[in-house]
Amino acid sequence: MEFRLSDKSLLPALIALLLLGSCISLAVGAMTIGWRDVLAGLMQWSWPGILDQDVPEQYALVLGEIRLPRLLLGLIVGGTLSVCGAVMQGMFRNPLAEPGIIGISSGAAVGAGIVLVFGGVLSVWLGAFYEKLQWLLLPAFASTGAIMATWLVYILGDRGRSVVMMLLAGIAISALAGAALGMFAYVATDTALRDMTMWQLGSLSGATWTSVLVTGFIFAISAGLLWARANDLNALLLGESDARHLGVDVIGLKRQIIVLNGIAVGAAVSVSGIIGFVGLVVPHIVRLLRGPDHRYLIPYSALLGGLLLTVADTIARSVFAPAEMPVGIITALLGAPFFLFLLWQQRQQIF
């Protein structure tokens, strides 16, 4: 039973859904704003005075400084996690691979833990300088942790030659990171402990224009570079020696994937915390709908990942309004049943 869709139906459908999801995300929130005012508020915010009417200042602020950056951050983070997941699964030829499994997320979590738990010590060390650097410390440490974990996995995996070694090293590093986090939790004050838990739950509420620009820039470059290697990734699906015979620089490809993934996931995780499941589920859904060709898998994953995270975030911040819940819970609730349904429908085809 073939259940594949062609580009003709899939691409317009995805883009339409993405636009619809974005509009809903902009229109829904704790503050009730009619759709006319949403448009007016956005126009007023982007170009004050463009309209001949007065829009309440609050609307322009909520739309331009809160909802819009949050929507964009959701699209970017969802896209980043999904593309990284798709490429990881391709590289490891393992359907369970995702940024979490080779230790990238854990590395980032350790980096963040250092800042959250030992921030007090750091502040003594750096003195007044700390106040100025505070906003940068968490993202910087999380990214550094992610890149270091990836680098370690890469070195242990014989510089990317052995996929099995890399997977095993990733699991070992995740365990090590878990131990480090447990150690931090043990010595942490209870306030630092709560900060750490909150951070690990993952949320898009930290969206600012700076974070959108930084993650967006990194996402565009890394996803573009990975997409450019789509044909090589396809060859890699045949097996490493086959790919080598087809003229693919396998080791160079793996190096590139690992470095780009480390940077992109580090950047995404440092602004949003750990949002699980998107990187695992989205590429699978796209493979089931469109097939495993990386030329399509990568862009479709970016679109679908952005859509899933945006919808999840809209639900997360409006169901319990005025309070919010962590978006990671919603991504799992939305993604998992759909994934199971697709798996069930395709069971003969996969195994």
Amino acid in the structure at residue 147: I
Scanning 15-23, 51-59, 157-165, 166-174 for contacts with another protein by CB under 8 A, the matching segment is: 51-59
Nearest C-alpha neighbor of 79 from the set 319, 324, 334, 272:
272
Taking the complex as a whole, the smallest distance from the CB of residue 104 to another protein amounts, in Å, to: 24
> Of residues 318-337, which lie at the interface with another protein (CB under 8 A)?
320-324
Helix (H/G/I), strand (E/B), else coil: 298: helix
Which one-letter amino acid corresponds to residue 76? I
List the x/- string, 184-203, binding to another protein by CB under 8 A.
Answer: --xxxxxx--xx--x----x
How buried is 43 (Cβ within 10 angstroms: 0-12 exposed, 13-18 middle, 19+ buried)?
middle
Region near another protein per CB under 8 A, out of 164-172, 183-191, 288-296, 342-350: 183-191
The rounded distance, in Å, linking the Cα atoms of 22 and 182 is 38
Contact 259, 226 (CB under 8 A): no
Query: Where are the extended beta strands (E) located within 41-115?
Result: none
Q: Does residue 50 touch another protein according to CB under 8 A? A: no
Nearer to another protein, 82 or 203 (CB): 203
Of 321 and 343, nearer to another protein (C-beta) is 321
Whether residue 283 has a cis bond before it, omega within 30° of 0:
no
Instruction: Select the residue interacting with another protein from 5, 18, 65, 332 (CB under 8 A).
Output: 65
x/- contact string, 129-168, with another protein (CB under 8 A)?
------x---------------------------------
Q: Which span (62-70, 163-171, 240-248, 305-313) binds another protein, by CB under 8 A?
A: 62-70
Instruction: Tell me the angle at which helices 294-318 and 7-27 cross, rounded to the nearest 10 degrees.
Output: 20
Q: In angstroms, what is the minimal distance from the CB of 272 to another protein?
A: 12
Q: 68-92 and 209-228 are packed helices; what angle lies between their axes, rounded to 10 degrees?
A: 30
Report residue 254 CA to chain centroid gap: 20
**Do the beta carbons of residue 284 and residue 267 sit within 8 Å?**
no
Segment lying near another protein (by CB under 8 A), choices 27-35, 121-129, 244-252, 292-300? 27-35
* Closer Cβ to another protein, 135 or 338, answer by number: 135
Within 260-279, the residues that bind another protein by CB under 8 A are none
Site for another protein in 289-308 (CB under 8 A): none
CB of 324 to another protein, least distance (A): 4
Please report whether residue 78 would count as binding another protein according to CB under 8 A: no
What is the distance between the alpha carbons of residues 246 and 178, in angstroms, rounded to a whole number?
40
Handedness of CA 250, 255, 260, 261 (dihedral sign): positive
Q: Could you tell me the smallest distance in angstroms from the CB atom of residue 328 to another protein?
A: 13
Q: Which of 61, 122, 140, 259: binder of another protein (CB under 8 A)?
A: 61
Distances from the Cα of 115 to the Cαs of 57, 199, 320, in angstroms?
A: 36, 11, 30
Interacting residues of 346 by C-beta distance below 8 A, sequence separation 6+: 1, 3, 288
Binding range to another protein, per CB under 8 A, among 3-11, 16-24, 63-71, 253-261: 63-71
Write out the residues near another protein by the rule CB under 8 A: 29-32, 48-49, 52-54, 56-58, 60-62, 65-67, 135, 186-191, 194-195, 198, 203, 205-206, 208, 317, 320-324
